[in-house]
Amino acid sequence: MKKLFLCIGILSISFLNAQDISDVIRYSQQEIRGTARYRALSGAFGALGGDLSALHVNPAGSAVFLNSHGAITLSSQSINNDVVFGNDLNPFNNFRNTSSTNINFNQLGAVFIYDNYNSESSGINKISLGLTYDQTTDNKDEFVVLGTTRNSIDDLFLADAQGIQLGLITPRAGETIDGLYAFLGENEGVRAQQAFLGHETLIIEANDLDDPTGTGYSSNIASGVFDQDYIYESTGLNGKFTVNLGAQIDQDFYVGVNLNSHFISYDRFTEFFETNNNTGSAINEVLFTNRLSTIGAGFSAQVGAIAKVANILRLGASYESPTWYSIEEETTQRLETFSNANGTAIVNPDVVNIFPEYTLRTPAKYTGSVAILFGQQGLISMDYSFKDYSSSRLSSDNNNDFSNLNSFVEDNLQNAYTFRIGSEWRDGNWSYRGGYSFEKSPYKNTLILGNKNGFSAGFGYAFEQFKFDVAYDYTQQKRNDQLYPGSGFSNSVLIENYTENITLTASMNF
């Protein structure tokens, strides 16, 4: 059983915890991965309603249902990452493709309709009550990096070690590796732990071995050429449970409100392997593994309205409040080196770093929608949503200072919009659908994360009170990932992501 040690949190834009701008984006972006009909129209449902996933765009959509309705959805997702290893030796010349597939139960819910037969006195024609679960993010991802570079992982440990006294990261008589690693985490933070790992595995060495107060270090890895392998794997999902209340007023106006309970489940594993045969190098192999586990819970609210302006035209508007998340995380590490002259050195602390809980406030979301209906034959629907990602904020009740990271978020993130358009046409019991979506990057520098484009198609068949729907959707987005963000090791990869989903929904009126 691993020992548990509480690490007093210090601000670190580091790969070791979720207090990082990339994770702010991960938990701020919510894409309802809902019913097949919703996905076939690329989610353009803000002025339509009448779909269980549509009420997450506009809560008033629940009151559009004519009858009580329930649905369940399964989705198969395929992820392809084309990875190019950018480095100083062979810039963007090391290509690798990684693909993975998984199946998710991503939607379940029901809306209950209560007609008001005395609507003349109140103006309320019906009331709707919705209870739903929807997956908002699939955290599964993986890619592999293979390449040759002149940059070594020693840069990471050197940068963290500079300024830390040698005596602090040297075990005293009777002190164990686990004990010192835990002590550093509790009292000094991530940088000291990294320095300790690098020193104990002989990657770095003090400039003055006899001065315990010395703070200067050099590398035992000689400069030259390095072969590097890097594996990234993440799993988990984010989702939300929603209680919805809606109403139809005077036949042509719909209103609604959502109360949302969110959750986060995210696990990440990385493994880095480096080899070299450089002349004078005392270390010839490095194997560095890290695991991160993140859980979180949050709350948000939504309000919305839909108006029938004419038989052919509907307009919609909705507001989603910020989500306030409470987030906890744990990490483990292992570092191993090999020397042709001296053999193997391993530091595998039997310690789980538990970081203090912190709060993330995501940006609010505003959506405007328009739908054109051609009787019972078909429709065209458009949504425009807006978020200010620079307004995201982190805070803590544990005396953690997030001012630097919040300033970094404000300086590097921007206002971003999403545009969705979808169409549906009916032929008897059959329905045929298609859609397109565009999502602007939340980063001011789109080389970090590019704009996202997607398209979708699908069909449905209805008989009596039952409906079966199928959808296919595809998205494409580029990003540039530093292997260890915020560290002294600058190697990065260019990733072009292609994601495909096939979604099946079974639903019924009752």
pLDDT of residue 404: 87
Mean pLDDT for the stretch of residues 475-479: 95
**Between these two residues, 140 and 91, which has the higher pLDDT value?**
140
Least confident span in 122-126, 180-184, 280-284, 356-360: 122-126
Mean pLDDT for the stretch of residues 441-445: 95
Share of the chain above pLDDT 70, in %: 94
Q: How confident is the model at residue 91 (pLDDT cuts 50, 70, 90)?
A: low
pLDDT of residue 119: 65
For domain 3-145+221-327+362-509, give the CATH number.
Answer: 2.40.160.60
pLDDT at 11 over 90: no
Residues in the chain: 510
pLDDT of residue 2: 36
Buried b (16+ CB within 10 A) or exposed e, 199-221: bbbebbebeeeeeeeeeebebbb
Paired sense of beta strands 3-6 and 351-361, if any: parallel
Q: Tens digits of per-residue pLDDT, 25-81?
A: 988 888 878 999 999 999 999 999 999 999 999 999 999 999 999 999 999 999 999
Query: Which among 226, 355, 234 has a CA at the least distance from the CA of 290?
Result: 234
The answer to whether the CB of 244 falls within 8 A of the CB of 128 is yes
Report how far residue 328's alpha carbon sits from residue 291's, in angstroms, rounded to the nearest whole number: 14
Q: Tens digits of per-residue pLDDT, 199-240?
A: 999 999 999 999 999 999 999 999 999 999 999 999 999 999
Q: Tens digits of per-residue pLDDT, 263-275?
A: 999 999 999 999 9
Structure tokens at 451: 């704009």
Q: How confident is the model at residue 370 (pLDDT cuts 50, 70, 90)?
A: very high
Mean pLDDT for the stretch of residues 242-246: 98
Spell out the residues 6+ positions from residue 79 whose beta carbon is closer than 8 angstroms to its own.
99, 100, 101, 140, 141, 142, 497, 498, 499
The answer to whether the CB of 59 falls within 8 A of the CB of 53 is no
Ramachandran category for residue 163: left, alpha or beta (phi over 0 → left; psi -120 to 50 → alpha)? left
Q: Rounded mean pLDDT of the chain?
A: 91
Mean pLDDT for the stretch of residues 248-257: 95
The answer to whether the CB of 69 falls within 8 A of the CB of 111 is yes
Ramachandran category for residue 193: left, alpha or beta (phi over 0 → left; psi -120 to 50 → alpha)? alpha
Spell out the residues 6+ positions from residue 104 whose beta carbon is closer than 8 angstroms to its own.
33, 74, 75, 76, 77, 135, 138, 237
Per-domain residue ranges of the chain: 3-145+221-327+362-509
pLDDT of residue 322: 97
pLDDT of residue 43: 95
Least confident span in 256-260, 381-385, 454-458, 483-487: 483-487
Report how far residue 355's alpha carbon sits from residue 196's, in angstroms, rounded to the nearest whole number: 19
Mean pLDDT for the stretch of residues 410-434: 96
pTM above 0.75?
yes
As beta bridge partners, residue 495 has 83, 479
